[in-house]
Amino acid sequence: MSEISRIDLWQALDSRGVPTVAARVRIGSHEAVAIAPSGASTGSHEALFLRDGEGNFNGLGIERTMSTFSKEVLPSLIGIQGNDFSELDRVLRTFDPTPIQSRFGGHIPVAITLATWLAYSKSAGKEPFEVIAQHVRSAPSLPMPMINIFSGGAHAGRAIDLQDILAIPTRASSFTEGLEWIWQIREECKKLLSRRGFDTALVADEGGLTAKLSGDEEAIALVSEAIELCNLSGRAHIALDIAASQLFHDGKYLVHESGAEVALNSEEFVSRWSAWLDRYPIISVEDGAAEDDETGWRAQRALTNRIQILGDDRYATQLARLNRGLAEGEANSILIKPNQAGSLFAALTTLQVAQRHGWNTVVSARSGDTEESWLADLATGANAGQIKVGSTHRSERTAKWNRLLELSYDDAAPFNNASALEKFI
Ligand code: 2PG
Ligand code: MG
């Protein structure tokens, strides 16, 4: 009795108080719930999140799509084997075949596929990460965390242009030690901000600190100073999520320098941030050019030997887009967000292909996330190497860190030290 026998869908809230979908899947006598995350800086190539546009929650509700989906699609999912992720994905795709899932969106399928994985894990008496490890035929490992310290962009009222300044405990010997190092860095940053007269009680969407600083470079300098003050120089490094698609308007990047807006072309924009690599311990840059700015992505190619060049909006966890990036050699790593792919299986496939080509993979939460912890199991089971969840603060973030702390305590898998990042340190 390991086939799906029942699926329920209802409307839940994400960490920003925005409606999302919860799915409950029953396999044998076991049930599990999963809630779909969603983003603020969403790319145009990711699976859609379709909202009703009118009615409950000022049009942010999703009841209409859920109701059509329940009538048209759900009956065909009943009877599929709970561990047959590819069959579940195949049937779902027959109803909504475009990569962005334009008919029903990716939020309902991703919740169903995740809940199926979790229900199957229970029915098989296995931990969720073990089921993933079996699926990808990989040895599980605890991921290196990439943790948000300071936020701007769409996550913090555009306090600065950069979306996320994060820290990676590259030389930590265990997940637990790494998490504590980054916690110390955040505390130190908080003190520095407070000394400069900023209100540090305010946190951004992902729990990061935020303040109206003079610009991006002041914020990077702040995190860099905090790393030094913690005596972690050379042992913790900086990662940026530039989220460049958000800054790209009519072929130009609009950024702020000394309070004034400047418009940069693709090469100028990439040169602007690559100059920071000489001044600060930055080893990873995500979305350093807008999702479809070919010139901007070409301009980063030379940097792939120096730092982790990470694609988020650029690839949107979509295999076809990753394949193009692999052919171009424009990056060396990919962010994996299950809801961008609109299904667990599709996200895992993209991750496996990236790994097979020697790219680093970073499993990531969204700015609108949930209190669930499955992302930690996904990163561990898939041997992703790295995980990005947001800050050490706020429950939707700590749910994932706390699950990793549990797995670490249990010695469930070895810690993935910085091997994938070693060449950039
Ligand atoms: C990102 C994510 C998570 P969002 O850009 O990487 O930080 O943000 O979920 O808003 O797309
Ligand atoms: Mg991003």
Annotated catalytic residue 423:
no
The domain 136-424 is placed in CATH, from the list 3.30.1490.20, 3.20.20.120, 1.10.150.110, 2.170.120.12, at 3.20.20.120
Q: Which ligand is nearest to the CA of 365?
A: 1
Please, what is the Cα angle at 212 between 211 and 214, to 5 degrees? 125
C-alpha span between 124 and 122 (Å, rounded): 5
The answer to whether domain 4-125 and domain 136-424 are alike in fold is no
User: Residue 340: CB within 6 Å of ligand 1?
Assistant: no
User: Residue 417: CB within 6 Å of ligand 1?
Assistant: no
- Cα–ligand 2 centroid distance for 313 (angstroms): 7
User: Residue 369: CB within 6 Å of ligand 1?
Assistant: no
C-alpha span between 121 and 197 (Å, rounded): 50
Closest among 38, 31, 168, 43 to 99, alpha carbons compared: 43
Task: Provide the residue-wise pLDDT of the chain in tens; the chain has 425 residues.
Answer: 799 999 999 999 999 999 999 999 999 999 999 999 999 889 999 999 999 999 999 999 999 999 999 999 999 999 999 999 999 999 999 999 999 999 999 999 999 999 999 999 999 999 999 999 999 999 999 999 999 999 999 888 888 999 999 999 999 999 999 999 999 999 999 999 999 999 988 889 999 999 999 999 999 999 999 999 999 999 999 999 999 999 999 999 999 988 899 999 999 999 999 999 999 999 999 999 999 999 999 999 999 999 999 999 999 999 999 999 999 999 999 999 999 999 999 999 999 999 999 999 999 999 999 999 999 999 999 999 999 999 999 999 999 999 999 999 999 999 987 778 999 99
Residue bearing the CA closest to ligand 1, atom 2 = 366
Q: Give the helix ranges, DSSP H, for 329-420.
A: 338-341, 344-356, 374-381, 395-409
- Cα–ligand 2 centroid distance for 332 (angstroms): 15
Residue extents of the structural domains in the chain: 4-125, 136-424
Domain over 4-125 is classified CATH 3.30.390.10: yes
- Provide the terminal-to-terminal Cα distance of the chain, rounded to the nearest Å: 50
Maximum distance among all Cα pairs of the chain, rounded to whole angstroms:
64
In order of 4, 101, 320, 343, the CA distances from 96 in angstroms are: 20, 5, 17, 12
- Cα–ligand 1 centroid distance for 289 (angstroms): 15
Lay out the sheet containing 30-35: strands in order across. Answer: 4-13, 19-27, 30-35
Beta bridge partners, 20, equal 12
Please give the backbone phi and psi of residue 230, each rounded to the nearest 5 degrees, phi first. -85, 5
User: Residue 312: CB within 6 Å of ligand 1?
Assistant: yes
- Cα–ligand 2 centroid distance for 372 (angstroms): 20
User: Residue 170: CB within 6 Å of ligand 1?
Assistant: no
Annotated catalytic residue 337:
yes
Pairing of strands 144-151, 237-241: unpaired
Q: Which of 127, 206, 372, 396 is catalytic?
A: 206
C-alpha span between 57 and 27 (Å, rounded): 32
Three-state secondary-structure class, residue 306: coil
Per-residue tokens: 121: 């894990």
